[in-house]
Structure 1
Amino acid sequence: MDARQMKIKAAEAALEYVEDGMRLGIGTGSTAEEFVRLLAEKVAGGFRIQGVPTSERTARLCVELGVPLKSLDELPELDLTIDGADEVDPQLRLIKGGGGALLREKIVATASSRMIVIADETKVVDMLGAFKLPIEVNSFGLVATRIAVDKLAARHGLTGDISVRASGDGPFRTDGGHLILDASFGRIPDADALARDLNAIAGVVEHGLFIGIASLAIIAGPDGARKLGA
């Protein structure tokens, strides 16, 4: 089973949790896109959902495939969000935002009664941090914000490069128009404390540590899908 087939397996298992008539947060990333394709097939067969996308990219795919969408302002309370992750640990703490949609992903996930993560087994780690931690920041005061993040990392005993994400000839811009600092920490021994302290930095808009948000992870491997959590 190749990587894409594992992602499809995870998406198939997650689709079983989607009920007719649900208000559904629809995530971003390669695994979430497999979920959208499977969801579109059910919608074409008469299945009813109202979806809220977590990124412009997801919105475009949903429109292309005929998945009905609403804005989060129209549906401010959701039943379920299904989204991918860049890393997931045994406590269902996540790193998300490799695609740059972390702010919208977190807003949608926390507006939902439940969040289910779908991923292949390569995303499961004992400790978060091997994947670069995305930190979405305001462009105003970027240097000051970066210095503050550097100092915070040092207080936490974290080392590694913290760089502004690039795209083409310039910096990457999120759907909200912000920049992203990618922090190569390697290992984050206390993700809960780091998440809390990053929130206290004025120039930080959001970060990719999703703590206490996911209630279930569906992990696909060569032998099929397994579950982490309840």
Structure 2
Amino acid sequence: MTDKIALDAAKKLAAITAVDQWVTEETKVVGIGSGSTVVFAVERIAERVWKDGALADIICVPSSYQARLLILDHNLTLGDLDRHSKIDVYIDGADEVDNAMVLIKGGGGCLLQEKIVASCAKKMIVIADYTKKSLRLGEQWCRGIPIEVSPQAHVPVKLKIEELFGGHAELRVALMKAGPIVTDNGNFLIDWKFVAKREYNWDEVNRAITMIPGVMETGLFVDMAIKCYFGMADGTVKVQNK
């Protein structure tokens, strides 16, 4: 191994550490987040189930279509919020984590369902590589805060956010198809690039944006995660607590 490990190796370290500490024999229902780091978490859960013979009765509740496919591909028991609305632990990645454990999520477009599943969990645990850790939001993640909106409201929402908080908000456009990205819920995404180095009260910002008519949810996760595991470049795992 070199002095600086690859990002995938760092993600895997964080995922394995978190799963082994938080998904135990007492865990009955686990929420599965979305994104590249979560792939390693599902792989570890499946390994515990099928290779180690543990966690035989565990039920996995997905936060996106991608998460649903991961659960099924690994032959794990698929649950849903209709039957399993009380989740023991929710494991997910993040696009950025600041020093106060405020998260930016939604780079992959799954923020609404992720926040719904996370809100049903007793504990939310974040897994990420070292590039996602910041003292303040915007240091590492430069693509803005994702906001899921009703299609007819994307222009009014964009203008209102810019009026309230400055910066620039833009509709997220697809790369491999014509037109905007469409979420699993049939909505559009706005990415708000807030003013760099400006002091924001993210709890107040999140609440204000959520109250704008047409906003389904924001990618700001405030006071939700209790612990974050970062796979570091030197092959260690750094833990950040709320």
- The offset of 1:149, in angstroms, is 1.6
Instruction: Write the distance in 2 (CA, Å) between the matches of 1:26 and 1:61.
Output: 9
Aligned partner of 1:202 among 213, 237, 241? 213
1:162 equivalent in structure 2: 169
Instruction: Write the distance in 2 (CA, Å) between the matches of 1:176 and 1:22.
Output: 27
2:187 equivalent in structure 1: 178
- The offset of 1:127, in angstroms, is 0.9
Instruction: Write the distance in 2 (CA, Å) between the matches of 1:29 and 1:206.
Output: 18
1:151 equivalent in structure 2: 163
Q: Which runs of 5+ in 1 are unaligned?
A: none
1:55 equivalent in structure 2: 64
1:117-175 C-alpha deviation (Å, 9 max, x unpaired): 00111101111134221000011232222221221223xxxx2x311111121110111
- The offset of 1:188, in angstroms, is 5.6
Q: Which range moved further: 88-97 or 13-22?
A: 13-22
Aligned partner of 1:28 among 34, 42, 60? 34
TM-score, normalised relative to structure 2 = 0.89
Aligned partner of 1:4 among 3, 8, 26? 8
After superposition, the CA RMSD in angstroms is 1.4
Instruction: Write the distance in 2 (CA, Å) between the matches of 1:213 and 1:112.
Output: 10
SS at match of 2:122: coil
- The offset of 1:94, in angstroms, is 0.3
2:17 equivalent in structure 1: 13
1:41 aligns with 2:47: yes
Contact 1:127 1:189 in 2 (8 A): no
Give the fraction of aligned pairs with identical amino acids, expressed as a percent. 36
Contact 1:22 1:79 in 2 (8 A): yes
Contact 1:216 1:229 in 2 (8 A): yes
Q: Which range moved further: 136-145 or 100-109?
A: 136-145
Moved >3 Å (runs of 4+): none
SS at match of 1:147: helix
1:93-123 C-alpha deviation (Å, 9 max, x unpaired): 1000000000011011110000000011110
Instruction: Write the distance in 2 (CA, Å) between the matches of 1:143 and 1:228.
Output: 37
Contact 1:165 1:181 in 2 (8 A): yes
Q: 1:180 to 1:188 in 2, by over 3 A?
A: farther
Instruction: Write the distance in 1 (CA, Å) between the matches of 2:210 and 2:16.
Output: 35
- The offset of 1:187, in angstroms, is 4.4
1:105 aligns with 2:109: no
Contact 2:10 2:235 in 1 (8 A): no
1:225 aligns with 2:207: no
1:39-65 C-alpha deviation (Å, 9 max, x unpaired): 111121332310101110111121111
Q: Which AA in structure 1 matches 2:119?
A: T
Contact 2:154 2:171 in 1 (8 A): no
- The offset of 1:73, in angstroms, is 1.1
1:127-142 equivalences under 5 Å are: 127-130=136-139, 131=141, 132-142=144-154
Contact 2:154 2:190 in 1 (8 A): no
Contact 1:93 1:209 in 2 (8 A): yes
Instruction: Write the distance in 2 (CA, Å) between the matches of 1:24 and 1:38.
Output: 13
Q: Which AA in structure 2 matches 1:165?
A: R
Instruction: Tell me how many residue pairs correspond in the alignment.
Output: 225
Instruction: Write the distance in 2 (CA, Å) between the matches of 1:219 and 1:22.
Output: 25
Q: Which AA in structure 2 matches 1:115?
A: M
